[in-house]
Chain A
Amino acid sequence: MFGRLLWKLLRSNLGRLAVALVGVTSGATVISALLTLQFDVERKLTQEFRALGANVLISPGRSGQAFTPSQAPSGTSPALMDEGRVLAEIDKSRTPAVTAAPFLYIIARAADRPVVVAGTWLDHMRLLDPTWKIEGHWISSRDDETACLIGRNVARQFAFTPGQELDLDYLGRQAHFRVAGIIDAGGAEDNQVFANLLLIQKLASLSGQIEIVQMSIHGPKKTLDRSVAQLTAALPGYEVRPIRAVTQAEGRLLDRTRLLIMLMVVLILMLTALCVLATMAALAMERRKDVGLMKALGGSISRIVALFLAEVGTLGAAGGLIGCLMGIGLARWMGERVFGASINPRWDVFPLTIALMIGVALAGALPLRLLGKVKPAVILRGE
């Protein structure tokens, strides 16, 4: 009978309940979208930050081999790392690195002028720093020893365009490249030439040696810190260093974004409760007669109010569910607009949003307390 009465109550006040339903649904839509963003914002923002480039550097630190002029007379880094060992430890640590690329820098000569040449994994260049712009095309094969990328300042200096040939000289050893693309990085990379790591190692007679590894690690700060700690333990003596400016800015922005979203959720919950409150106040007045009659027939106030609370709870659940479904679309739209990428629906947001909406609807049903004061005799007299 309870379900039957509930159904009839809902049907009998469709107009007024529809107004409250619109309010609850609107609130649930925005809240579920915000909560989806809240859960996803860390991933999205981390992706955004990863677009700014590497956030971890591995360098020789104290244990790096000291260079002697005989090894690198025209100037390389003061210390080097064993490529095989470092990369093996990165693999073993299962660090969720988006990209890791080893680098070996030399200063070679092109057309009799010095130029910084970075030997690296050319196929990871674009992944490591997605904000770089290129004229020409990226190099997709790590083994390609014939092509190179050059910074825009180098291109200007030597009047290079993509497709042209570049000859490098290092200590009398020559290398010949075709310029695949010109990079506009907006930084020091604009003054460098990027070529195949193996070839540069051979050119510098530093086979298996690298100077740094740049890593771009996905995930929140704690993931980053854990990865750094793991690698530090695995590579004693080497320096595994997060790039502080990036990670700290990321942490601050994440905290502020979370706070903003939570404040908005609270505000919307309050507004939704007010909407339900207004509707329920009107409904409570309308239902005085029904309640008076029910009391006259022996209905206890707890049983009667339970009926009306179930009605309000149903309203909250229905509004929450519809709002969640609409929130998927809103979250996707917001994701596209804010992050330029779609936000995937989070199913764990559903029960949370529905529970919040039921809670808000019940809080908004406070005027139903007035029904407890209804005197059946007064109502039946028509007063």
Chain B
Amino acid sequence: MAALVEIEELRKQFGNVRALDGVSFSVDAGEWIAIMGPSGSGKTTLINILGGLDTPTSGRAIVDGTDLARLDEAGLTRFRAEKVGFIFQQFHLVPYLTALENVMLAQYFHSTTDEGQARAELERVGLGDRVDHLPGQLSGGEQQRVAVARALINQPKLILADEPTGNLDEANEQTVLRLLQELHAEGHTILMVTHAPEIGALANRRIDLHHGRLVPAPVSV
């Protein structure tokens, strides 16, 4: 299978701190990868670079044939809109927009909005009856499901999930994990940062980071 993500000798330096130090790996389309490691190991930095939110100091990060290091600000913005869907630990929904509008916001920045499609996506994550609720009126699990719907609405090549269940209780965690499993089963490529080994065990492959370096012991599940 062709590699959707290719990373070669990726380095990221914040002042004197090396967040990533020569990381190389590749991800095939349709894979579910769990990125694990202790706090400060560079997991989120890696996800941010792959999502075009940050740029590497050196090395190459290629997603769906696009070398992210070669993109300017506008190119990265377009890349984010077209190629990736983000699911954040903190949900990051716009508080004054309804669930439906939060999903449509991603459509708006991608191309044109389609309210019917946005409703369908929310129904898919079990929020068909909550479309007009503001984030503040939704539980944590429901907010994260809105974020999942938002991440999927533009049918991205790559889903980047940064501790997607980190702020959820167990019941909501199971709901979101079930959603991710469904997405994987449908063929989506998922890179997920997690601390929890039992969640990481759901992925096809595990990548461990320590002090910005890859620990070469990926575990096949």
When chains A and B are docked, how far (Å) is the Cα of A1 from the Cα of B111? Answer: 11
Find out whether the CB atom of B48 lies under 8 angstroms from the CB atom of A377.
yes
A289 shortest CB reach to chain B, Å: 8
A253 within 8 A of B: no
A192 shortest CB reach to chain B, Å: 79
B78 shortest CB reach to chain A, Å: 7
Find out whether the CB atom of A5 lies under 8 angstroms from the CB atom of B53.
no
Q: Which residue of A lies closest to B151 (CB)?
A: A297
Q: Which of A8-16, A119-127, A138-146, A341-349 contacts the other chain?
A: A8-16
Contact with B along A276-314 (1 / 0, CB 8 A): 000000000000001001111111110100000000000
Q: Which residue of A lies closest to B47 (CB)?
A: A377
Which listed residue (A1, A12, A296, A299) contacts B92, Cβ 8 A?
A296
B94 within 8 A of A: yes
B204 within 8 A of A: no
**Neighbouring B residues of A298 by C-beta, 8 Å:** 77-82, 106, 109-110
**Neighbouring B residues of A5 by C-beta, 8 Å:** 97, 101, 105, 108
Contact with A along B76-88 (1 / 0, CB 8 A): 0111111000101
Q: Which residue of B lies closest to A379 (CB)?
A: B92
B113 within 8 A of A: yes
B154 shortest CB reach to chain A, Å: 8
Find out whether the CB atom of A297 lies under 8 angstroms from the CB atom of B44.
no
**Neighbouring B residues of A1 by C-beta, 8 Å:** 104-105, 107-108, 113
**Neighbouring B residues of A381 by C-beta, 8 Å:** 44
Q: Which residue of A lies closest to B112 (CB)?
A: A1
Find out whether the CB atom of B54 lies under 8 angstroms from the CB atom of A8.
no
**Neighbouring B residues of A301 by C-beta, 8 Å:** 73, 77
- Known A296-B86, A381-B44; judge A8-B96 contact (CB<8 A): yes
A380 within 8 A of B: yes
Find out whether the CB atom of B53 lies under 8 angstroms from the CB atom of A294.
no
Indicate the size class of the contact surface on chain B. 20 to 34
Find out whether the CB atom of A296 lies under 8 angstroms from the CB atom of B80.
yes
What is the interface size of chain A, counting residues whose CB is below 8 A from a CB of the partner?
25
Find out whether the CB atom of A297 lies under 8 angstroms from the CB atom of B97.
no
Q: Which of A1-41 contact B (CB under 8 A)?
A: 1-2, 4-5, 8-9, 11-12
B197 shortest CB reach to chain A, Å: 24
Q: Which residue of A lies closest to B162 (CB)?
A: A380
A248 shortest CB reach to chain B, Å: 62
- Known A298-B77, A298-B82; judge A11-B109 contact (CB<8 A): no
B166 shortest CB reach to chain A, Å: 13
When chains A and B are docked, how far (Å) is the Cα of A382 from the Cα of B44? Answer: 13
B74 within 8 A of A: yes
Contact with A along B94-131 (1 / 0, CB 8 A): 11110001001111111001000000000000000000
A376 within 8 A of B: yes
**Neighbouring A residues of B88 by C-beta, 8 Å:** 380
B191 shortest CB reach to chain A, Å: 15
When chains A and B are docked, how far (Å) is the Cα of A375 from the Cα of B92? Answer: 15
Find out whether the CB atom of A12 lies under 8 angstroms from the CB atom of B96.
yes
A15 shortest CB reach to chain B, Å: 13
Q: Would you mind naming 18 contact pairs between A and B with Cβ atoms under 8 Å apart?
A: A1-B113, A8-B96, A8-B97, A8-B101, A296-B53, A297-B80, A297-B105, A297-B109, A299-B108, A299-B109, A300-B77, A300-B78, A300-B109, A301-B77, A303-B109, A377-B53, A380-B88, A381-B44
Q: Beyond A296-B51, A298-B80: 13 further Cβ-contacts under 8 Å?
A: A1-B107, A1-B113, A8-B97, A9-B96, A295-B80, A296-B86, A296-B92, A297-B86, A298-B79, A298-B106, A300-B78, A300-B109, A376-B53
Chain A residues packing against B (C-beta within 8 Å): 1-2, 4-5, 8-9, 11-12, 290, 293-301, 303, 375-377, 380-382
Ranked nearest first, the 8 interchain pairs of A and B with the lowest CB-CB distance are A298-B81, A12-B96, A377-B53, A299-B109, A298-B80, A298-B109, A1-B108, A1-B113
